[in-house]
Amino acid sequence: MERKQKLPLYVVDGKQQFKCYKSLESHEQFCCGWVQDLQIYTPGGCENTVVLAKVMHSQRLSQPPLTPWVILAPSGEVMSAHCTCMAGVAESCTHVGALLFKVEASVRLKEQATVTDEPAYWMLPGNVNKVHPEVGHKIDFTSAAAKRRSLNSAIDGESHSRPTFRMRATKATTLTPTPTPEDMDKLYSDIHRTGTRAVVLSVTPRYCNEYRDPTLPIRDVKSLANLHGRTLDTSDFSALRQHCQTLEGIANITHIQAAQIEQRTKGQLTSSLWFAARAGRITASSMHSVYATDIHSPALSTVKRVCYPQHGPVTPATTWGVKQEERARQEYISKTNPKHHNQEVQTCGFFVNPAFPQVGASPDAIVACTCCGKGCIEIKCPAKYKDSTILDACSSNDSSFPLYQANGRMHLKKSHPYYSQVQTQMFVTERMYCDGVWTQKDCAILRIFKDRAFWEPRLQKAQEFFVEVCLPELMAKHFTKPPTSQTSASCSGACGHSSR
**Closest residue by Cα to residue 372 from 323, 445, 310, 307:** 445
Task: Work out the pLDDT band at 496, boundaries 50, 70, 90.
Answer: very low
**Closest residue by Cα to residue 500 from 300, 289, 343, 258:** 300
pLDDT on residue 24: 66
pLDDT on residue 118: 55
Strand order in the sheet with 359-361: 282-283, 359-361, 351-352
Least confident of 4-13, 367-376, 454-463, 481-490: 4-13
Q: Evaluate whether 11 touches 92 at the Cβ level (below 8 Å).
A: yes
462 CB-near residues (< 8 Å, 6+ apart): 282, 287, 290, 291, 356, 358, 359
| Pairing mode of beta strands 433-438, 373-377 | parallel
pLDDT on residue 414: 94
pLDDT in tens, 114-141: 545 555 555 566 666 666 677 777 777 7
pLDDT on residue 282: 96
Tell me the pLDDT of the chain averaged across its residues.
Answer: 79
Distance (Å, whole) CA 273 – CA 225: 11
Distance (Å, whole) CA 265 – CA 276: 10
Q: In one letter, which amino acid is 109?
A: L
Residue 490 has pLDDT above 60, yes or no: no
pLDDT on residue 4: 40
Segment 4-27 mean pLDDT: 51
Positions of CATH 3.90.320.10 in the chain: 230-500
Least confident of 269-273, 278-282, 366-370, 472-476: 269-273
Residue 435 has pLDDT above 50, yes or no: yes
Distance (Å, whole) CA 147 – CA 154: 11
Distance (Å, whole) CA 95 – CA 79: 17
pLDDT on residue 32: 76
Q: Evaluate whether 51 touches 69 at the Cβ level (below 8 Å).
A: yes
Q: In one letter, which amino acid is 260?
A: Q
pLDDT in tens, 145-193: 777 677 777 666 665 555 444 445 555 566 788 899 889 989 998 998 8
Distance (Å, whole) CA 189 – CA 175: 25
Is the CATH code 3.40.47.10 the one for domain 230-500?
A: no
Segment 254-273 mean pLDDT: 86
Residue 17 has pLDDT above 60, yes or no: no
**From residue 263, how far is each of 191, 375, 392, 464 by CA, in Å?**
34, 17, 39, 28
Of the chain, the end-to-end C-alpha distance in Å amounts to 95
Segment 93-109 mean pLDDT: 81
Distance (Å, whole) CA 85 – CA 28: 18
Q: Between 402 and 302, where is the model more confident?
A: 302
pLDDT on residue 248: 82
